[in-house]
Amino acid sequence: MFINARHIIRMALGVFVFVLFGSGAVAQSLYTPFPSNFRNTRSNELIEGSSLVPVFKKLQQKKAVKVMQIGDSHVKGNYLPRALGNTLQNYFPRLEFTYYGINGAWARRFYEQDMINRVATERPDLVVISFGTNEAHGNTIDERAHAETMNLLTQRISERCPGVCFLFTTPPGSYISQRTGSYTTGRGRYRRTHYNTVKVANANTANVARSIVKFCQTHHFAVWDIYTIAGGATSACSNWRDAGLMNTDCIHYLASGYTLQGKLLGEAIYKAYSGTAVSGSQTRMMHGSTPQEQKPYMSVKGF
């Protein structure tokens, strides 16, 4: 595969950083690439990453930090959170990571008392909140009701876990079935109607992602907008599917797809950490707060 000179230079100068832990140094990649077929991708960065400074301070001081991810079936399936946890622990060996997901869950399921208790038991410093796919498969999103759900969720967790930070993620994208016609079989009481369907990108995902980002920017919570980063309304769904990283239901992902997402999220968190200068009450972000366009430089086919 042809790689131009600019990409070679970037690989040589930007692919690895050295993170010092005690007396040793561990080389870690900050630029896991998208597959070469991905189009309209953006730089893999957090929005409002400076809101995680309390967590970053603890990490810089070599204090123990616990991260918990909660979410729907994407989290329940293990591959995504395990990749995220492994990536973070490569950078921060003392970091503890745990997760809990429920198949079919909406964000509102987790502000119920039993779920708040489950989160509070872990005493997390950072809660990664990963919902939106199921909300996107409902009717057109009610942005006000959605924001109220996210507000209640964060308020109730904060009440039980004072000082906790939050990082939201947007849904990566999925497909829905659309009817293209119908036909009947049988006669009389055995007569049955069958429908021809095709899979089309779920346009409501863009609305849910936008709602999550708007809420986070309003409340100054960190957000990882993977929907936009991986191609947005024009390309996100087709990018994952065409790269062979989606499950056949076109809602869930293969292990390779989830693993890639988890690694990208871990890298985005570390970029925010390494790009934040913390000195007393002074905080300076070295990276932009809005993802900028960035093309992949190599393929992860067979990843």
- For 137-194, the pLDDT digits (tens) are 977 889 999 999 999 999 999 999 999 999 999 999 999 887 676 778 877 788 887 6
Q: DSSP letter at 246?
A: B
User: Is residue 290 included in any domain, yes or no?
Assistant: no
CA dihedral 100, 102, 106, 107 (to 10 degrees): -10
User: Is residue 45 included in any domain, yes or no?
Assistant: yes
Question: Into how many domains does the chain fold?
Answer: 2
Query: Are residues 60 and 22 located together in one domain of the fold?
Result: no
- At 270, phi and psi to the nearest 5? -70, -35
User: Is residue 302 included in any domain, yes or no?
Assistant: no
pLDDT above 80 (res 14): no
User: Is residue 99 included in any domain, yes or no?
Assistant: yes
Q: Place 29 in a pLDDT band, splitting at 50, 70 and 90.
A: low
User: Is residue 64 included in any domain, yes or no?
Assistant: yes
Query: Are residues 150 and 277 located together in one domain of the fold?
Result: yes
Query: Are residues 109 and 5 located together in one domain of the fold?
Result: no
Q: DSSP letter at 119?
A: H
Q: Place 19 in a pLDDT band, splitting at 50, 70 and 90.
A: very low
| Alpha-carbon separation of residue 276 from 55, 119, 261, 287, 289 (angstroms) | 12, 27, 23, 8, 12
Query: Are residues 153 and 24 located together in one domain of the fold?
Result: no
Name the residue range of residue 248's domain. 36-285
pLDDT above 50 (res 39): yes
pLDDT above 80 (res 129): yes
Query: Are residues 156 and 279 located together in one domain of the fold?
Result: yes
Average pLDDT along the chain: 84
User: Is residue 160 included in any domain, yes or no?
Assistant: yes
pLDDT above 60 (res 280): no
Q: What is the average per-residue pLDDT within 107-113?
A: 96
Query: Are residues 40 and 154 located together in one domain of the fold?
Result: yes
pLDDT in tens, 188-234: 788 887 677 688 899 999 999 999 999 999 999 999 999 999 999 99
Query: Are residues 189 and 145 located together in one domain of the fold?
Result: yes
User: Cα 105–224–254 angle (5° rounding)?
Assistant: 60
**Burial grade of 122 (CB within 10 A; 0-12, 13-18, 19 or more):** middle
Query: Are residues 77 and 197 located together in one domain of the fold?
Result: yes
- The reported pLDDT for the residue numbered 159 is 98
Residues 258 and 280: their CA atoms lie apart, in Å, by 37
pLDDT above 60 (res 245): yes
Query: Are residues 88 and 2 located together in one domain of the fold?
Result: no
